[in-house]
Every structure is written in C-alpha cells, then in structure tokens.
Amino acid sequence: MIINVGIIGATGHTGEILIELLLGHPNVKITHLYNSGKSGQGACVISDVFPKFKKRLDLVCGKPDFNQIKKDCDLVFLALPHTVSMQFTPKLLKLGKRVIDLSADYRIKNPSVYEKAYKVTHQDKSNLKEAIYGLPELSRAKIKTAKLLANPGCYPTSAILGIAPLLAVNLVDTDSIIIDAKSGVSGAGKKVEKEYLFSEIQGDFRAYKVNVHQHAPEIEQALSKVSGKKINVVFVPHLLPIERGILSTIYLKKAKGAKLKVKNVVELYKKFYKNEPFIRIKPDGVFPRIKDVVKTNFCDIGVKDFGSTIIVICAIDNLLKGASAQAVQNMNIMYKLPETAGLL
C-alpha cells in the first residue's frame, strides 16, 4: 500500500519533521507541499528552505491548491498554527480526504472551552463533533476509522500518558493532581519574539502561563474520560534553555482506601502499557531524562510510590511523540499499517 500525502504548513518545525519522517516511510509518497496560504507568502522549493532535502525532495511549496489535493492526495497533514487549521479542514473533508491536524483546533470537544483557552471563536463546530482525539495508547480503536484526527498537544501527551494508569484503577485523589512540566524552546514554534531569543533563554529557566496554559483543558478532558469523573489539574509549564524535549513531574495523592491489585505501581504501569510499542517504563526508583527520548517517538515513564504520595516523571520529544511522529503513528493506525512503520 502507498498513501499519497500532502502537507499544509510544510515550512514550520512540525512540517519539516513530518517531511523527514515520511521520506523514510515505506508506505508513503509525498505528493504536494503547501504553506499556510498567508498573504505575502510566495512559492518556494522546499529544499531551498531546508537544504538537507536537496535531491531527496525538491517539490515546490506554494499556496494550498485544492484541485491538486483532490486529484493526488489520500491524506493531508495540517502542520499549522492553532486557529488556522479550521480554515482548511471543511474543504478537505468535503473532498473526501482524511485529515490529521497537528493544531489544537479539533482537540477540545466543548467549543466554549476552546474559545476561552485560545481566545478565538471556533469556526467549524460541526466537524469538531466528529473529530477523534488521537492518543494511540488510549484511543486506538477509534483512530482506525477516523476521517478527522486531532493530534494531541505536546504537554498533554506527556501528562496524560503519565497519569492515565493511576486514574484507570482509581488509585489517586482526582482533586489533587499537580503537573510541573518543562519544555525546550521549540515548543513555541518559529516565533520571532524577544522572550525566545538565544540571549534571553540561554542560562535561564522560568515558569510561564502559570495554571492558565491553553493545554490544561485538553489534559483535563482526556483524564476525565479515563477517570469517569470531572478532573481539574494544577498545570505549571516551564521554559528550558534547550532546543527540544519535555520532562513532566507529576504529583498525586493516593485516594483513601485505595489498594493496588499488583505488586507495586511500576507493575501497574507495565501491565497498563504492556502492548505499547512506544512506551518504556523505568525500573522502580529509576526516572527518565530528556536525552534518552530526544529524536525518538518514545515516552519514558518513571513512577514511585512514597506512601501517601505517588510521583510520576515522564519524558518525550515535544516535536516527535509530542507532534509529528505521533501524527505518523496515528496515520499508521488509520491505514492498518504496522504502528512502528517509519518510526524505528
């Protein structure tokens, strides 16, 4: 099987990495590349933007052409900023194309919650209802038949995967979940802003959007689904002076009277994720680090029971498991390919 793929938003971080991954995928042909369609954006050859693609992929990257897409694409990746994807999605779905959206536009099911978090009006509420939230470890069955797939955010991926096994067995207090997350600067995309300049970041470490980050509702929505109860989290992100990677340290209180049915929490996690190709559980007392997951689609998890408190530490690459590689993993599931194809 060969999947003919188009990418809209090919010149950003996630677009670049998608191209790299798909060029090495045995079942994919990249047929067209497009920019975001902003006024003033001219056409360019992708290998002029990213010279590493010279003689590997020399396609022209211009404004989205729906006639080309109709004729030549089975699937379209939207590697676009939040609020931009919803401008393209309805047209693509009407053409009968499957869509994997890497923005937040279709992740949060309640449009009013999305609008509060992202401070814009949602323009495609009808398709929002049909979108499948694509965290493979929790939603694999629904992903298989998805027409519109909402690829999870980077912080939510690390937090949800870190907490889900505990909520699934009602082991922790749902009113006391604290997520202390740190990300490399690539999580901000290619913004040209003072706070992301090398001179501002190098040698510094700071919190930002303390307990008001737009990813919090996405985390709460997914965890509420696992738990069956309304979940609220305290979520504090931090900016690390590194290019990429996320390390989330999660603090949870044990629920009153909760008892483990396995030897310890490490065994609980191993059992929960036993068939997952991209989850690696650390031995008891050993915790992950960013260096071990950068440039991979792996999620490394360490967990320790301290009596009344459980601490979970989760590491991912924000650009891969937190974005582009997870999108490819979802594509593999959608087309019934080996889940690891193009990713190991």
Residue 154 appears among annotated catalytic residues: yes
What structural domains does the chain harbor? 3-151+323-334 (3.40.50.720), 155-316 (3.30.360.10)
Least confident window among 51-55, 162-166, 199-203, 328-332: 199-203
253-281 pLDDT, tens digit each: 999 988 887 889 999 999 999 999 999 99
Give the DSSP H or E segment for 36: none
Question: What pLDDT, in 10s, does the model give residues 74-124?
Answer: 999 999 999 999 999 999 999 999 999 999 999 999 999 999 999 999 999
Residue 262 CA to residue 271 CA, distance in Å, equals 9
SS3 content of the chain, % helix, strand, coil (to 5): 35, 25, 45
- For residue 42, the model assigns a pLDDT of 82
Write down the H helix ranges in 131-202.
136-143, 154-168, 198-201
Please give the Cα distance from 117 to 131 (Å, whole number). Answer: 18
CB 114 within 8 A of CB 97: no
Q: Quote the percentage of the chain above a pLDDT of 90.
A: 90
Tokens at 129, concatenated = 């209802």
Backbone angles phi, psi at 40, to 5 degrees: 95, -15
pLDDT at 200 over 90: no
User: Average pLDDT, stretch 121-135?
Assistant: 97
Q: Which two tokens stand for residue 31?
A: 């047929």
At 38 the pLDDT is: 76
Place of tokens 């045995």: 26
Q: In this predicted model, what pLDDT tens digit does every residue of 59-86 receive, in sequence order?
A: 999 999 999 999 999 999 999 999 999 9
The mean-pLDDT minimum among 51-60, 136-145, 252-261 falls in 252-261
Is residue 324 classed as helix, strand or coil in its secondary structure?
helix
Asked whether residue 28 carries a pLDDT value surpassing 60, the answer given is yes
Question: Which pLDDT value is given to residue 189?
Answer: 63
- Tell me the pLDDT of the chain averaged across its residues: 95
- Between 39-48, 68-77, 159-168, the lowest mean confidence (pLDDT) is in 39-48
| E strands in the chain | 3-8, 28-34, 44-45, 60-62, 75-78, 98-101, 132-133, 148-150, 172-183, 206-207, 234-239, 246-254, 279-281, 299-305, 309-316
The model carries a pTM of 0.95
Residue 147 has pLDDT above 90, yes or no: yes
Active-site choice (61, 73, 154, 299): 154
Contact (Cβ atoms closer than 8 angstroms) between residue 2 and residue 25: no
**pLDDT score of 201:** 77
Q: What average pLDDT does range 218-244 have in this prediction?
A: 97
Cβ contact 280:300 at 8 Å: yes
What percent of the chain has a predicted confidence (pLDDT) above 70?
97
